[in-house]
Amino acid sequence: MTDTADITAMSFEDALRALEDVVRKLESGEVPLDDSITLYERGEQLRKHCQARLDAAQLRIERIVAGPDGQATGTQPFDDPGR
């Protein structure tokens, strides 16, 4: 199994694929109990990594602010309460 340091270096897409693989293995029911526990722990680490990457991406999203004439006047953070 890959350790946590390797997971944190993964791209979102790679981590999501790895998480999907873990889920498939667990759902197959063919994995011994001890291996299932290890897979579940890895899946949880992958899930947390994916969520952190999504949270970071959301913070970077900016929406375009349009002026009265419809032209873009700047940007505003995605989570700005004044939007």
CA atoms within 13 A on the CB side of 46: 22
Q: For residue range 43-80, list pLDDT tens digits in order.
A: 999 999 999 999 888 777 766 666 677 777 777 666 66
Task: Indicate the pLDDT class of residue 1, thresholds 50, 70 and 90.
Answer: very low
**CATH code that applies to domain 4-77:** 1.10.287
With residues binned 3-state (H G I as helix, E B as strand, rest as coil), the percentages for the chain, rounded to 5, are: 60, 15, 25
What's the rounded Cα separation, in Å, for the pair 49 and 75? Answer: 28
Segment 7-50, tens digit of pLDDT: 999 999 999 999 999 999 999 999 999 999 999 999 999 999 99
Domain ranges of the chain: 4-77
